[in-house]
Amino acid sequence: MTNTEMDAHFGYDSKRFEKVGYNIRKFYLNEKGLQPYHEDLIRIGQVELDRVGIRVTCRRLAEKHNVKEKTIRSDYGHLKRYGKL
């Protein structure tokens, strides 16, 4: 099945499987499209993130890299889901 056919079969919004595939390729397989804040999150590590706090760390990184805090927090979830943290 193609991504579009799987979306229709399972009743998902359009392009859901395409988005999941993109995230898997970006965060799990290739690691080619990682931004500097992704690398900072990986470098900081899960133990330090738990100690300091996710919100505080994301807020600091958002100011440092001029990116929205929400973007960093959602990408943190992807990094954690795919085993990079």
pLDDT digits 0-9 by tens, 18-30: 888 888 888 887 7
Q: Which residues have CB under 8 Å from 77's CB, separation 6+?
A: none
In angstroms, rounded to a whole number, what is the distance separating the alpha carbons of residues 8 and 11?
Answer: 5
Mean pLDDT of 48-58: 93
The DSSP H or E segment spanning 53 is: none
- The number of CA neighbours under 13 Å toward the Cβ of 21 is 9
pTM above 0.85, yes or no: no
